[in-house]
Structure 1
Amino acid sequence: MISFPKLESWNATTKVATIAATLDKKRILCRIPLKILHNKYGATEDNAMQSVNLHREVIQDAARELIENGHYEKDGSVLISLSNL
């Protein structure tokens, strides 16, 4: 079962928001670039994490689907794209 603890971060250098997922006691980082947040929700760098919180359910559903289908990046994270939302 995939769960989503309330762990999140913003990387101002790469402009990527990250939320955490847990599957079988393993942490999976679920990343969503600012460009995607902006295109889908109108987010800016100043309110990116607020946008993540407002749309957390949709973002988690997208991350869950990527994890369930094994769509991992080389580093073990999942990258959420516009087509996933």
Structure 2
Amino acid sequence: MHLTHYKTTPTGDTVITFPRLECWNAKTKVATVAADVNKRRVLCRIPLTLLRERFGATPEEPMQAVTTHRLVIQEAARRLIETESFEEDGSVLIGAQDI
């Protein structure tokens, strides 16, 4: 599957919502939270290392930190989307500087 680089609308009418869609990739050790941006899906990724550093996540239950700190993670993702800080695959990667 090929994802294109997503650009927000130039008019500033960007609508960003966060449905309760999230998952954990045990192989890459990255949590993903979905965002809907003007009715298009953007995957917002946050690595276990950052979840552990900022929120005390455990390797056994990393998604508990995502659930507990959902609003902080969503706000970081929102800022990355609004500044069009997309990865090559169209996702956003939340880093230490974002939280």
Structure 1, residues 19-67: CA drift from partner, whole Å, max 9, x if none?
A: 0000111000000000000111111221210100000000000000000
2:61 aligned with 1:47, yes or no?
yes
2:35 aligned with 1:21, yes or no?
yes
What percentage of aligned pairs have identical amino acids? 56
Deviation of 1:82 after TM superposition, in Å, equals 1.0
Q: What is the rounded CA distance, in whole Å, between the counterparts of 1:78 and 1:44 in structure 2?
A: 23
Q: What is the rounded CA distance, in whole Å, between the counterparts of 2:82 and 2:50 in structure 1?
A: 21
Q: What is the rounded CA distance, in whole Å, between the counterparts of 1:46 and 1:56 in structure 2?
A: 18
Letter matched to residue 36 of structure 1: L
Q: RMSD across aligned C-alpha pairs, in angstroms?
A: 0.5
Q: What is the rounded CA distance, in whole Å, between the counterparts of 2:79 and 2:39 in structure 1?
A: 18
Q: What is the rounded CA distance, in whole Å, between the counterparts of 1:35 and 1:18 in structure 2?
A: 14
Letter matched to residue 6 of structure 1: R
TM-score, structure 2 length as denominator? 0.84
More helix by share: 1
Aligned partner of 1:58 in structure 2 is 72
Tell me, which stretches of 5 or more residues in structure 1 are unaligned?
none
Q: Which has the larger radius of gyration?
A: 2
